[in-house]
Structure formats: structure tokens, C-alpha cells
Amino acid sequence: MEKTYYLSLNLKTPNGLEPYGRYDLGSDKDFARHVFDALMGIGEPAVQLVLHIDLIESEDGVPFVLNVKHCTLNEVAENTKRITVELFRYHGLNAAT
């Protein structure tokens, strides 16, 4: 089966993780890794950082977390812009910046 990749945006709450956004990146693992590696954030959990972005590989509907970046609110905002620009480029479009 074909693997697909996406970024999951999550918020840590007292009740656990709450997903609040998702960016589908398609089936190109190299592209997915490129986008994730370009994002701001840190790999190690930090008490003060309640936002994180997970790189997910899915096969037959079963998700597997490949990597995580813990972010500030400003980093999530910048990362959202970066993801959008990278998706535009990947699909051969020009992103208005």
C-alpha cells in the first residue's frame, strides 16, 4: 500500500493532546521530510511549549509519528506560512508572499 504523509498540529491540554489542524503533504517522503526539517521549533519537549507539529506517516489508515517539533505560537504562525509556500512550490504555483 502507498504511504501518505501529513503534518498534525496539536495543543497540549489538561485532558491530553487536542489536534487542531492538519496539512496533507501527499506520498512523497522526501518532500514531507524537507518541509518538516524547514520548520521552526525544538525536538525536545519543554514545559512552557504546549503547541507541537507532528510529521505523520500513514499506511492503510494507520498513523505513525515520525518526528515532533515543539513550538511557540509565533513559530506555529511562521511554520504555517512556510508550509503553505512549500506546498505552492511543490505544485508548481507561485505563492504571494
pTM: 0.90
CA-derived radius of gyration, the chain: 13
Q: How confident is residue 94, by pLDDT bands cut at 50, 70 and 90?
A: confident
Residue 45 in 3-state DSSP?
Answer: coil
pLDDT in tens, 21-70: 999 999 999 999 999 999 999 988 777 889 999 999 999 999 999 999 99
CA-closest candidate to residue 69, choices 85, 80, 58, 84:
80
H or E element that contains 9? strand 3-13
The pLDDT assigned to 5 comes to 98
pLDDT in tens, 71-83: 999 999 999 999 9
Give CA–CA dist 37/46, Å, rounded.
19
